[in-house]
Amino acid sequence: MDPNEQVEEVRSDDIKSMDQTADFFSPENAKAAAIREAVAISTLDEVLAYLLEGDGSVGILDATNSTIARRQKLFNHIKEREPKLGILFVESVCEDEKVCSTNPHRNPYADNI
């Protein structure tokens, strides 16, 4: 499916009415997965417009792009739009058990997760 068609297929009403608890991020939730994917591509297109049509020289897409498949999809989407754009994926890994177990408790929205 064309990314633009995918974005159009996911109506803004769907996004507004979608419960964004932990279930929203579950891989088994197909409707939420479609919404997350559409929003990711739409946001990437906004960054690309800023870089290619606006005054931008650097764009940062801050999202969960932790799988090779997701990164490849983003890479391909960017290169289809402009083959000369440079792409850098930055990954931060924390293996400190204390930090990993404490972090969710600091989240002011933790009750909604």
DSSP 4-46: HHHHHHS-HHHHHHS--SGGGG-TT-HHHHHHHHHHHHHHHHH
| Mean pLDDT (whole number) for 79-104 | 85
| pLDDT in the model for residue 22 | 76
In single-letter form, the type of residue at position 15 comes to I
Phi, psi for 41 (deg, rounded to 5): -70, -40
| pLDDT in the model for residue 4 | 43
Q: Output the CA–CA distances (angstroms, integers) from residue 21 to 33, 65, 109, in the order listed.
A: 13, 20, 10
| pLDDT in the model for residue 16 | 63
Q: What's the predicted TM-score (pTM) here?
A: 0.68
Whether residue 82 has pLDDT greater than 60: yes
Range of the domain at 104: 3-112
| pLDDT in the model for residue 1 | 42
Contacts of 109 (CB under 8 A, 6+ apart): none
Q: pLDDT tens digits, residue range 54-76?
A: 999 999 988 777 788 889 999 99
Q: Which residue has the higher pLDDT, 15 or 1?
A: 15
Q: pLDDT tens digits, residue range 33-57?
A: 888 888 889 999 999 999 999 999 9
How many structural domains compose the chain? 1
C-alpha to C-alpha distance for 20 and 36, rounded to whole angstroms: 11
